[in-house]
Structure 1
Amino acid sequence: MPILILADHDNHTLSEATARLLTAAGRLGDAIDILVAGQGVAPVAEAAARLAGARSVLVADGEALAHFIAEPVADILVQLADRYDAILAAANSSGKDVLPRVAARLDVMQLSDVVAIKGADVFSRPIYAGNAIETVRSRDGKKIVTVRTSSFEAASTLETSAPIETLAFDAGPVRTRFVRLDASPSDRPDLSSARIIVSGGRALGSKQAFETTIVPLADKLNAAIGASRAAVDSGYVPNDWQVGQTGKIVAPDLYIACGISGAIQHVAGMKDSKVIVAINSDAEAPIFAVADYGLVADIFEAVPELTGKL
């Protein structure tokens, strides 16, 4: 089964999500090509070509693709669709923007947020905020799939490289205009792919308390910082730090939840973490039901003490 995956990148660096996506694609077959669409993406293409399991890398490089606007990327995928039985992308903001357009134009169903691939046409995905796993069979000739990449290990990097092919493409008319990008610069690991995450909840009480309690622990662990929706809505942290059903889905090696009660929407976004540590003063907090290690304690005492001992 020939498979095409859409690389996740920022025009400069290839995201680890692409390596995880390659592992997922390997469950379907071994003829896997990677599409790198953007502007000035030669370094990204070179990095993708070194991923184990990649048959080749296809490069679509042009001004129309500079900001990864969905319309031209979807146009390219539709133009390439005849070559492939499956097209995969990460279930992030980009993949969720592009692939539904492709599925609609090819008149096939989309398989969304897949966490397991059990055969050429059998896929599993979470429903009911992650409380149940639905297994579905698609009989469509082409499979259009967004993948929860945190559910798959990253493919390894090789010394040798797969061949790189530059595509001639027609981006078609674009009705969307890029205005600006408002990004929060950070030296921390990306929240979506971080191996360690320290998260805080509404119990912290203020933005200042969040900064003085959670940030030092994250600094000691070289961790990404997350938050519950309640903490985001209260203005303690930026919106893009939110973990949960309506935020980012994460699965780090270690997730430390500080002052987070464990609402079902938050748990849906982090319950696949390999080790979960919960610190909360309420012994009945739902977070303890999913935690591997739980500490019933005042976060304003326990977290600084933990930070001091690291």
Structure 2
Amino acid sequence: MLKIDAEACIGCGLCEDACTFGAIQVEDGLAVVGDNCTLCGACVEVCEVGALSIPRPEGDLPADLASWSGVWVYAEYRRGRLAPVALELLGAGRRLADKRGVELAAVLLGSAAQASEEGGLEAAARELIAHGADRVYLVDDPALADFTDDAYGNILAELVREHRPEIVLAGATAVGRSFIPRVATMLAAGLTADCTELDVREEDGALLQTRPAFGGNIMATIVCPRTRPQMATVRPMVMKPLARDEHRQGEIVRVEPAGQKLASRTKVLESVTAALDQVNLAEADIVVAGGRGLENAEGFALIRQLADALGGAVAASRAAVDSGWIPYPHQVGQTGKTVAPKVYIACGISGAIQHLVGMQSAETIIAINRDPEAPIFNVATYGIVGDVFEVVPKLIEQLDKN
């Protein structure tokens, strides 16, 4: 929590002015902090007399940041196979590791009992090496067959303490969002959630973590310069995996976890897999999306015709979903799904940043919009300025001829 030195405080009000959350006020010549303090540290930085501080747990602040080295990726392994985001993160991690001149490692937790047609944990570890990992820390124990925050968090935190990687990445999946914050708390480390871009600053190795902020209206780049490791979760389908290289060589390190680290306060009684959504946008090579420019629900009939002609899937912007023209499972964007198809066709979509973060990784973006100043054209590979209801029927007609 924020600590205020009453003897040093002069009641100047600089901290009150700096707090964007209204969490600190000067009363009777003394700064007073409220319950809505987020520990952002803005007040600490502006205090000219050093009256404000944010104490950290003793021993958690690394004495020598330079002693932390390497990039780690948590390789999520569920229902007998690697989550696709694990390979995507290896692609991003390889780029960061090469830029820093350090090793890229993956952490794989699970149980041999989860073996599937893909070959189980051992095969998964080799797959991680083929996609860019130099080393894989493999933890195989029956207690890890079912995911629990306690067991997974304890083991990952212990590995980080022992090997001291400077960067730890994980997918912003249900599993990653569940236990990675726990790991960050255990390590007293900084964590940026739901990132869409990563880079490192050359002069000091700071991880530049970019994510949408303020409802997606801006893209914020966050750094954690004072602590290690630097941790981030990354949205699936944002990063590009490396091509598989079956000749890559790497080391698989088997880790035997201590019994107490496997203990969990929760017990999984049953795991039930819900029926999968029929809208399989994540795996579609071609996605045709409609937005507010379609004017009504009937407009999506035209989008479906184009998608069917191309063998693609139908998507939508949040504006179209909020208008009730198409169900939520079709939504692409910050509050919807993230896609990275070979071709993304945006029909009547203006290109708000909230939508762009969900589709800007597409290989080819084709935009159709009657407004020549629409932001979507700034990211489009090809742009067509025209009425969707005139352009799309002509495209379908040409496709039918072929």
TM-score > 0.5, shorter chain as reference: yes
In structure 1, what is the Cα distance between the partners aligned to 2:131 and 2:228? 27
3-state SS, counterpart of residue 114 of structure 2: coil
3-state SS, counterpart of residue 358 of structure 2: helix
- Structure 1, unmatched stretches of 5+, are none
Higher relative contact order (CA 8 A, sep 6+): 1
Q: Which amino acid aligns with 2:126?
A: A
In structure 2, what is the Cα distance between the partners aligned to 1:235 and 1:36? 42
In structure 2, what is the Cα distance between the partners aligned to 1:166 and 1:40? 17
Aligned residue pairs, count = 306
Match of 1:170 in 2: 262
Using a 3 Å threshold, how does the CA distance of structure 1 residues 154 and 31 change in structure 2: closer, same or farther?
closer
Are positions 1:82 and 2:161 aligned together? yes
In structure 2, what is the Cα distance between the partners aligned to 1:237 and 1:167? 50
Using a 3 Å threshold, how does the CA distance of structure 1 residues 240 and 180 change in structure 2: closer, same or farther?
farther
Q: State percent identity of aligned pairs.
A: 34
Are positions 1:49 and 2:126 aligned together? yes
1:82-231 alignment runs, 5 A limit: 82-84=161-163, 85=165, 86-112=167-193, 113=195, 115-119=197-201, 120-128=205-213, 129=216, 131-132=218-219, 134=221, 136-148=223-235, 150=237, 152-159=239-246, 163=252, 165=254, 168=257, 170-174=262-266, 180-186=272-278, 188=280, 190=282, 195-204=285-294, 209-210=299-300, 212-231=301-320
Using a 3 Å threshold, how does the CA distance of structure 1 residues 52 and 104 change in structure 2: closer, same or farther?
same
Cα deviation, 1:48-89, whole Å, max 9, x if unaligned, reads 4222332225144547654x4544432332233223313210
Cα deviation, 1:99-150, whole Å, max 9, x if unaligned, reads 1121112211113316122254332413443744525243313222223465
In structure 2, what is the Cα distance between the partners aligned to 1:266 and 1:78? 35
Using a 3 Å threshold, how does the CA distance of structure 1 residues 180 and 158 change in structure 2: closer, same or farther?
same
Using a 3 Å threshold, how does the CA distance of structure 1 residues 231 and 182 change in structure 2: closer, same or farther?
farther
**After TM superposition, which residue ranges in structure 1, 4 or more long, deviate above 6 angstroms?**
175-179
1:21 deviates by: 0.6
Using a 3 Å threshold, how does the CA distance of structure 1 residues 181 and 259 change in structure 2: closer, same or farther?
farther
Are positions 1:22 and 2:90 aligned together? yes
Structure number with greater Rg is 2
1:282 deviates by: 4.3
In structure 2, what is the Cα distance between the partners aligned to 1:99 and 1:82? 15
Moved more, 34-43 or 290-299: 34-43
In structure 1, what is the Cα distance between the partners aligned to 2:288 and 2:150? 36
1:154 deviates by: 0.9
TM-score (norm 1): 0.79
Cα deviation, 1:230-286, whole Å, max 9, x if unaligned, reads 222234444343222222344444321112233332234334544321123444544
In structure 2, what is the Cα distance between the partners aligned to 1:290 and 1:264? 11
3-state SS, counterpart of residue 243 of structure 1: coil
RMSD over aligned Cα atoms: 3.5
